[in-house]
Amino acid sequence: MNTGQQLLLTISALGACNGLILGLYLLFNRKGRPLWTFFMGLMLLMISLRVAKSVFFYFNPDLPKSCLQTGLSACFLIGPSLYYMLLSARNNGNPVPKSWKVAWGVLLTIIIVGGIFISYEAYPKIWNKVIAYIIYAQWFLYLIASVYVMRGEIGKIFGGKVTVLERQMLSVLAGNLILYLFYALALFRFMPAVYIAAAVSFTFILYVTIFVFFYGAGSKSANPQSPKRKIPDADAQSLLEKLSAAMAVPDVYKDPNLKLGDLAQRLHVTPHLLSQLLNDNLGKSFSAFVNEYRIGEACRLITTNDHLTFEAIGYEVGFNSKSTFYAAFRKVTGTTPALFRENLAQSAAGQGS
């Protein structure tokens, strides 16, 4: 192995190893993280397996057939991982649709069952001449679907303001497109040089994407005495819309165990960013913000149902005790639940007379 080959091996293996580590970290370190990071971790893991197979096969064509099958099978999940990552990033914290689970069940069944009954070792010609092309065609279709999902964000590049999350998603999409181009050229034109170039390019794509994701994050803490950076107006407006959509679901704020991290996960943002949004843009703490929704619902119940006790209403809207309900009610409305109901009755009597 000459110096040039050693350099190619080092660069390509570096990207595969780092991508593998980062992918596993995102997959298994789920606490407080939005759903799209799970799909990103899965995508990085699949790409890293594909790149690792490319590197080993380039320098050792006698690689075991099981390794070749693993690399191609990983390709089958790259496109879906990208597509569902982009969808979940704009899912506004809504529950995962059942159709997503069904789709992934089908994909995994195809890989497992198909891999067992039509293994690479038993049917190498079918894998090389048929299955490989089907896999790349499927990847291409998911890329087209991903571009369609991001069509609005792509348009913003040429005339609108792109939010931080949108910029991150666009960088991942662009990297995926470049990587697919290299692998497609290698597959359809059988060019070994392009084949290893795909593996090398992943290293650069990975580091560029990491830079895009974390650009500016270090500058916030570089000078502890510098003023806190305000969330850009475009980002804040987008987050406020997502927050409003999430809080429109009563089950969210009625959850007595709702925490800042839980709500942040529904919005696919960090708890720090959500806290900053509430404090800087709404001038409220997390508890005050949630309690306004709970007291609003409590007022509705007091108005429409005079059979429920105040304690029952408090528990119904998400408070853990009668005292915290009364304290929050007075803070939000300036009165007590009893006086609120009494004023309603007086108003109704006055209108009746």
- Complete domains list, the chain, with CATH: 3-219 (1.20.1070), 233-343 (1.10.10.60)
What's the pLDDT tens digit per position in 222-274? Answer: 344 444 556 777 778 888 888 998 898 888 999 999 998 888 888 888 888 88
C-alpha span between 37 and 34 (Å, rounded): 6
What's the pLDDT tens digit per position in 298-322? Answer: 999 999 887 889 999 999 999 999 9
What's the pLDDT tens digit per position in 95-104? Answer: 678 889 999 9
pTM for the model stands at 0.63
Higher model confidence: residue 57 or residue 298? 298
C-alpha span between 86 and 66 (Å, rounded): 31
Mean pLDDT, all residues of the chain: 84
Three state DSSP letters for the chain: CCHHHHHHHHHHHHHHHHHHHHHHHHHHCCCCCCHHHHHHHHHHHHHHHHHHHHHHHHHCCCCCHHHHHHHHHHHHHHHHHHHHHHHHHCCCCCCCCHHHHHHHHHHHHHHHHHHHHCCCCCCHHHHHHHHHHHHHHHHHHHHHHHHHHCHHHHHHCCCCCCCHHHHHHHHHHHHHHHHHHHHHHHHHHCCHHHHHHHHHHHHHHHHHHHHHHHCCHHHHHHCCCCCCCCCCHHHHHHHHHHHHHHHCCHHHHCCCCCCHHHHHHHHCCCHHHHHHHHHHHHCCCHHHHHHHHHHHHHHHHHHHCCCCCHHHHHHHHCCCCHHHHHHHHHHHHCCCHHHHHHHHHHHHHHHHC
Q: Would you say 9 and 55 are in contact if contact means Cβ atoms under 8 Å apart?
A: yes
What's the pLDDT tens digit per position in 123-134? Answer: 999 998 899 999
What confidence score (pLDDT) does residue 224 get? 40
When pLDDT is cut at 50, 70 and 90, the band that residue 89 belongs to is confident
Q: Residue 221 pLDDT > 50, yes or no? A: no
What confidence score (pLDDT) does residue 92 get? 54
Number of residues assigned to the chain: 353
What confidence score (pLDDT) does residue 146 get? 95
What confidence score (pLDDT) does residue 145 get? 96
Structure tokens at 18: 């780092």
What integer is the mean pLDDT of 274-299?
A: 91
Higher model confidence: residue 26 or residue 202? 26
What's the pLDDT tens digit per position in 147-198? Answer: 999 988 888 787 667 777 788 888 999 999 998 988 888 777 655 566 667 7
